[in-house]
Amino acid sequence: MATEEALSDQPAELSTEQLIIRKVEGVINARAPKDPAQQGTIDRRINDLVAESKEQAKIANDISGGGLVGMFFSRKPPLAQRQAVTRQAAIQAELATLRLQHSVGWRVLEVQVAAGRATVVSTEALAKFPLCDAETATTLGYQGASRCSWPTSTARAWMNSALLAALPDQIRSHMCQTHVQSRVLTQIVASDDWLFLPSSRELPLMKQRWGLLDGRPDSFWLRDVGLDVGQDGQRVLSGDTRTYNPTSYDYGIQVLASVSLQSFPSVVEILASPNQ
């Protein structure tokens, strides 16, 4: 018979949810080995793109009239600004790809066995983008994606097109659309999304690493919005839930997605086990 001391040294048996989380995260975070030279190349490319992004942001700043002013005095942007916005969108998509190759992974936030899915979140922000900006939406051809609500936001249109296409296959091949509820002032609105931003409800589920961008704390968008203004998740975490910001600001895009549990053979085995 095993002694009490020997039994206490044995690892605790994992729950079904813990087993699922381990399997899902192991698959979607799989990366090919990189040599130091390749890692250095990625580092330099990220730095170059971040620098170029800042330059393009300066050119495009007149689109929103410098933030608050542009919310009330919108005008058609000239060619230079439209080109800057188009280039900025491409830069941010490439940065997301490189960050996932470099250091950003995915973490399971929630497992919903009955629904057959899990919600995952990027461990850091993948890009920076305005939440709702009419001129940006027009320039990028996102018709109807300029009103200040998550279903009609510029960020949602960009995330579910350019950013979605930039994700690696090990996460994209497991993703499924999910029904997302968001708040606009006192109303609840719904949308079906491949990718979406966090809301205040999700913040307690991952207490660390919210809002980091390249390892540094930064502002990031929540999908719950007010009247032409959006919430900065970093300030919400600090307890300042009253603080809203012009949605034309470029804040961090920390990505959430749903993955189908049935797309992971190892998870299917766990669920089919008579012990589960």
pLDDT tens figures, 38-47: 889 999 999 9
Which range is least confidently modeled, 4-18, 59-73, 97-111, 231-245?
59-73
User: What are the residue boundaries of the structural domains of the chain, listed by start?
Assistant: 16-272
Which amino acid, residue 60?
A
> What pLDDT is stored for residue 31 in this prediction?
81
65 torsion bin: left (phi>0), alpha (psi -120 to 50), beta (else): left
Distant-in-sequence contacts of 108-113, Cβ < 8 A, 24+ apart = 108/20, 108/21, 108/24, 108/25, 109/202, 109/205, 109/206, 109/256, 110/205, 111/17, 111/20, 111/21, 111/261, 113/16, 113/17, 113/20, 113/261, 113/271
pLDDT tens-digit readout, 42-70: 999 999 999 999 999 888 776 545 444 44
User: 210 near 125, Cβ under 8 Å?
Assistant: no
Alpha-carbon torsion, ordered 221, 167, 215, 47, to 10 deg: -110
